[in-house]
Structure 1
Amino acid sequence: MGLKKVNAVILAVFLMSLQTDVYSEEQMSRQTLIEDLLNPSHYDSSVPPGKPTNVKIQLIINDTIMENEHASEISGLTTVIMHWIDSRLDYSAKASYPSLIIRGSAKLKPWVPDIFILENREPYITGFGSTNELIVFNSSGNVVFNHRFTTRMLFGCI
């Protein structure tokens, strides 16, 4: 009876290792797909996906600290979220993953709109391409870009 338990444990460990291998192969497949989609030989990340490209923008002020009440300046941790469609990233014919994720430290990235914040006093933007960046896109090319940064802005009356 003790031998059956040992065999069952060995079988369970073996099956768990197979599941881990399948997961690793899936992740490699996602990475290969990202590399294929963003290959510089056919994807230019400096060129917008269309003319015009409609970009929806959300600016979220996560945390604020009033620094100068008379000048109406505040500093805070800010998150910018942008949504757009890049048909060049449509992978519906290549794979069935619901979405692909690119982290800020990745070397290959899709086109991202430039951001300019009016009345930005002293931007301490960690830089696009930093670890505070996340890009998610689905099989039809819908892109969501999320970036956190710290800034000091003027919110005065003009």
Structure 2
Amino acid sequence: MAVQAAYTILILPLHSSREALTFYMWLRRMKELEQERDALLDGVQLVDRARDWYRERLHEAGQKREWRCTWDQTPPPPLLGPALLVQIQEANKFLNDLISHPDKGHRRQSPYSTKHSDTIATLRHQNQMLTREITAQNEKMWKLQRENEALYRELEERHLHRATFI
């Protein structure tokens, strides 16, 4: 979402290499400031979109909280899955770190801090569950491939057997 701008080339006769270096450093700083401004504007747009998204999820959560379970109704599906919840918690932590320490925004705390051990444990558990599921699916695929090969062999044998009788 960077802002595209037209640039003009300007050739200035400079009297010394020191003037040239000073002018170059000034131009470079102006370019860095423009890039920083563009990044901040992109961030503002993303934060606005994120705020709208969060408000929609809050509204949905409020509606589901008001929902009353009766015997003939099934409960609604959960609003957020565990993986999405972990991502939201990480995004919230990152934004909090960025806002809390404006001078230290680039220094992120270690993801292995005790504060986030629950998040790591949740991710590890999800990883184990997904690994088990993939292993089970791979075993099923292997069995189906073997059955498929056996059926092809049987079909070839029948085809050869029919060909000899004709």
Q: Which has the higher helix share?
A: 2
Bigger RCO (CA 8 Å, 6+ sep): 1
Both structures adopt the same fold (TM-score exceeding 0.5): no
Q: Which has the higher strand share?
A: 1
TM-score, normalised relative to structure 2:
0.29
TM-score, normalised relative to structure 1:
0.30
Structure 1 or 2, whichever has the larger Rg, is 2
